[in-house]
Chain A
């Protein structure tokens, strides 16, 4: 009977996509580590095998468990992040791992799922209305608490991921201007780096003045418009300041490379240049499995982790890359579809979080590999080498699959 309920009602479409992605990921890790990183593929295979008991445990545990203990899981996750400052192991200047024997564990990979649970739990209370500013602050606090702990590790990539929760909150009623100002902030940020801050401020002034008079906001709102302009100016100036004075040179370089402001193919631009060469040389059909010359030559740094997509591009070509993108998009849309179908707000919010988290990883990672996003350490879900990442994403996904399977029994 247990067995039956274990697989009862689970969404096979998501699971098949998941399995295909994991196996494709492993093939590419195998290829990219063949000539230079012996044992990498074997280790990843062990990680993959370990996901099987993990999945069964998740499916075995009662669906209500996650809702009940969401706060405790979240608390535990926060503790594990905080504990890094004391017990953490530093690898390549980043203090994001716990060392257990020869294995390392990265708690931030699990904290995403915990945060999603906590946010879902908080929003599932029918009393919560996100029109209320206090509620807004509380919800955002849940999101930014882990960010505060992750940023100083420093792990800006993981921290960036949490911005996707804004979109989840918007779905649940957060006012649009949060999202809007988020996009405006990104736009201003990029503009500030491309142009001089003075020009950006000038452009903003012109846009605001035109908007003010076109919309006939009148004298009464002139204060509001002025405050708005002041905010923008402040933001632009602080971005400029942070970029010039707080960012380290290598951060600045990453943006400058991306914006085409500086070219140094041997130094800082090397990663992006090499990954573009690898992908670009794939053509329509790619060079074939294990035939990628760039992959074999180890020209792309971190190819089995953050740059795993270059192997896909080189060896499987445009069609292979297209397939991977299509599988991911299919999975995201399927999860969103399932989430909208949920009977409880808790599992809907959680489903949304899962889709959002996976999506932002996917987009930031591939965009970086393709040279349209600055170099930042974000893994490609299910593909990139690493046990913590794989398990983190597996847990994240399968908790939702369990919730989805459970919805029939809920009433």
Chain B
């Protein structure tokens, strides 16, 4: 037995060691991670972000160097806080708070201590940075805006948030990312690809050479420059015209679907969202829930389109052969479509399609709509037929344009009405307000502009887009694919002629531009706001849509002015000024221009001022057919949608 003791001990000991090894090396994999944190230092090489040009090659957005002060809390040693804070112009409390925050993130890993200092802010600190062990700087490039407009189109650059870091492995804490506008939708193109260098480090955190001879290192890829479809001159002019107004302008080149101008008002100078002031300014913009400068009205404001929608009513009527150009309806300042139900109209006398359009006769289009819905004994089927025609103009859907925000708008279907009127049937008369764009239909300005582009093209459109060229890359094929409507080409001619006479004989006759044939349509959306708890009718939203020239159209435009009153008073002039600016690059009617530039609606908006939110801002269908139903526009700034 004595012989067995030592061999047994050896074998037991060996088993013990192997079990321990198995536990350390195979079962518990936390050591692997610790080892990487321990020994490998990753350095990123951030490429310069791509420049942004307009359609004519004018530089809009470039870059400027900026500096992030980084801190590794564990390595802080004997910091002269007083001097440090003075150099960076921060308070002692700031310092303590930021260090504490960095420690919570990780005592061992670098955190951004102070982000985005510009050259002059950084200069003084740079000389002394050696004195502050544990701090170092990281050079970045920040946006340098060459223009003071287009903020809503560009979007901005910000630090990536923790949620995205967790979701997208490309980003690390402190990385910059495009938010909103083209900075967001073309983030991957503009940012390029950052280079990664792995360094082996030793226990003192010193680099001792590259890791595995740079086997895993990658070289950064420059961000690509992009050309927008935007016309810088037109964009700037549009923003100028919108000063002291609220609303949106969308201009599209009908032949291509290129967005020439995308204006929202109020807007802001994109430069205020750069550098150290960014976060303060952003908060100010974000908190302004009444004027909502971050809310792109051109893309997001959904309203009942009003009169411009009559264009589609007419076109569907022609297509469904329930009317022709000669079909006549009599108007007696309105239309009594049921006992006690009366739709007002400013027109009087016999109306055909042509004068129905330029006089914007409610009676005429109500009758057309009744015929469309009455064509089939199966009302839901008739509604869906109408709905599909309307949808073929890009309505009631995200259009697929390359900007990160948007709204669907709304085109009702038989399902909509099944839910609205459960248990009892409905007829064309029940939903007649759709005829004049005051029913369940909702449209955004970009949808209105696209509708006009489609009419200008006599039946097709290209998905609106903001990208013209990406360095070395064709733009997405979906922007060069024709979308053809369900309306035959021949039906557009009479409609266009009617729209042309809106300027000659109709509601916009005062807005004619000598030498340019413009086709357009006024519109008005009633709206209400709660002021001191009382629901008060506000000045109508002013809507105007147009395209020009009549033959071979170059521009289609939609203008929406919140509380702008009758369509022809503010929205109409703005549309015609924009058209003239774009087609001629100069303005002949300087008096009109001056009047519009000086026109301020701030007194009207001031009434809303006491109100906390535009949530309370209400809109209502204009007609009295149904009991007033409130449509409450959402004010959530939708930045997440793609």
Query: Which residues does A use to contact B, with CB under 8 Å?
Result: 35-36, 167-168, 170-173, 179, 274, 276-284, 291, 293-294, 296-299, 313-314, 317-318, 321-322, 325-326, 328-329, 332-333, 336, 340, 352, 355-356, 359, 363, 366-367, 370-372
| B:30-76 near A, CB below 8 Å | 30-32, 34-36, 38-40
Bound CA span A361–B24, Å: 21
Bound CA span A336–B3, Å: 9
Stretch from B199-207, B229-237, B397-405 contacting the other chain: B199-207
Q: A299 near B20 (CB under 8 angstroms)?
A: no
Q: A370 near B39 (CB under 8 angstroms)?
A: no
- Answer whether residue B477 sits at the interface, using C-beta atoms and an 8 A cutoff: no
Bound CA span A286–B166, Å: 29
Bound CA span A319–B430, Å: 81
Q: Which residues of B contact A278 (CB under 8 A)?
A: 35
Q: Which residues of B contact A299 (CB under 8 A)?
A: 38-39, 202-203
Bound CA span A363–B9, Å: 10
Bound CA span A297–B38, Å: 9
Bound CA span A298–B200, Å: 10
Q: Which residues of A contact B20 (CB under 8 A)?
A: 367, 370-372
B626 nearest CB across to chain A (Å): 71
Q: B17 near A280 (CB under 8 angstroms)?
A: no
Q: A280 near B13 (CB under 8 angstroms)?
A: no
A14 nearest CB across to chain B (Å): 15
Bound CA span A296–B206, Å: 12
A56 nearest CB across to chain B (Å): 30
16 A-B pairs (CB sep. < 8 Å): A276-B24, A277-B35, A278-B35, A279-B24, A280-B25, A281-B36, A282-B25, A284-B25, A299-B38, A313-B25, A318-B26, A329-B11, A332-B7, A359-B6, A366-B17, A367-B17
Query: Which residues does B use to contact A, with CB under 8 Å?
Result: 2-3, 5-7, 9-11, 13-14, 16-18, 20-22, 24-26, 28-32, 34-36, 38-40, 200-203, 208-209, 211-212
Q: A340 near B3 (CB under 8 angstroms)?
A: yes
Bound CA span A64–B88, Å: 83
Q: A171 near B26 (CB under 8 angstroms)?
A: no
Q: B200 near A281 (CB under 8 angstroms)?
A: no
Chain B residue nearest in CB terms to A321: B21
Q: A293 near B5 (CB under 8 angstroms)?
A: no
Chain A residue nearest in CB terms to B31: A280
> Among B5, B30, B201, which residue has its beta carbon within 8 angstroms of that of A280?
B30
Bound CA span A173–B26, Å: 43
Bound CA span A245–B208, Å: 44
Q: Which residues of A contact B34 (CB under 8 A)?
A: 277, 280-281
Chain B residue nearest in CB terms to A329: B14
Interface centre among B25, B36, B203, B209 (most CB of A within 10 A): B25
Q: B7 near A333 (CB under 8 angstroms)?
A: yes
Interface centre among A170, A277, A367 (most CB of B within 10 A): A277
Q: Which residues of A contact B32 (CB under 8 A)?
A: 280-281, 283
Q: Which residues of B contact A168 (CB under 8 A)?
A: 6
Q: B21 near A318 (CB under 8 angstroms)?
A: yes
Contacts A318-B25, A333-B10 given; indicate if A298 touches B202 (C-beta within 8 A). Answer: yes
Q: Which residues of A contact B39 (CB under 8 A)?
A: 293-294, 296-297, 299
Q: Which residues of A contact B24 (CB under 8 A)?
A: 276, 279-280, 313, 370
A83 nearest CB across to chain B (Å): 33
> Among B25, B36, B208, which residue has its beta carbon within 8 angstroms of that of A296?
B208
Bound CA span A298–B22, Å: 24
B408 nearest CB across to chain A (Å): 52
Contacts A277-B38, A333-B10 given; indicate if A297 touches B202 (C-beta within 8 A). Answer: yes
A193 nearest CB across to chain B (Å): 19
Contacts A313-B25, A318-B22 given; indicate if A297 touches B17 (C-beta within 8 A). Answer: no
Bound CA span A284–B2, Å: 38
Q: Which residues of A contact B29 (CB under 8 A)?
A: 280, 283
Q: Which residues of A contact B14 (CB under 8 A)?
A: 325-326, 328-329
Bound CA span A349–B17, Å: 27
Contacts A333-B7, A366-B17 given; indicate if A280 touches B202 (C-beta within 8 A). Answer: no
Q: Which residues of A contact B212 (CB under 8 A)?
A: 291
Q: Which residues of B contact A366 (CB under 8 A)?
A: 17
A360 nearest CB across to chain B (Å): 9
Q: Which residues of A contact B18 (CB under 8 A)?
A: 322, 325
> Among B10, B25, B202, B209, which residue has its beta carbon within 8 angstroms of that of A283?
B25
Q: Which residues of B contact A371 (CB under 8 A)?
A: 20
Q: B6 near A356 (CB under 8 angstroms)?
A: yes
Bound CA span A294–B24, Å: 15
> Among A170, A279, A296, which residue has its beta carbon within 8 angstroms of that of B31?
A279
Q: A276 near B40 (CB under 8 angstroms)?
A: no
Interface centre among B21, B28, B209 (most CB of A within 10 A): B21
Q: B17 near A296 (CB under 8 angstroms)?
A: no
Q: A298 near B25 (CB under 8 angstroms)?
A: no
B637 nearest CB across to chain A (Å): 46
Bound CA span A60–B10, Å: 32
Q: A329 near B202 (CB under 8 angstroms)?
A: no
Contacts A277-B35, A280-B32, A297-B202 given; indicate if A167 touches B21 (C-beta within 8 A). Answer: no
Across the A-B interface, the 5 shortest Cβ-Cβ residue pairs: A280-B31, A281-B35, A293-B39, A297-B39, A318-B25
Q: Which residues of B contact A340 (CB under 8 A)?
A: 3
Q: B6 near A322 (CB under 8 angstroms)?
A: no
Q: B35 near A294 (CB under 8 angstroms)?
A: yes
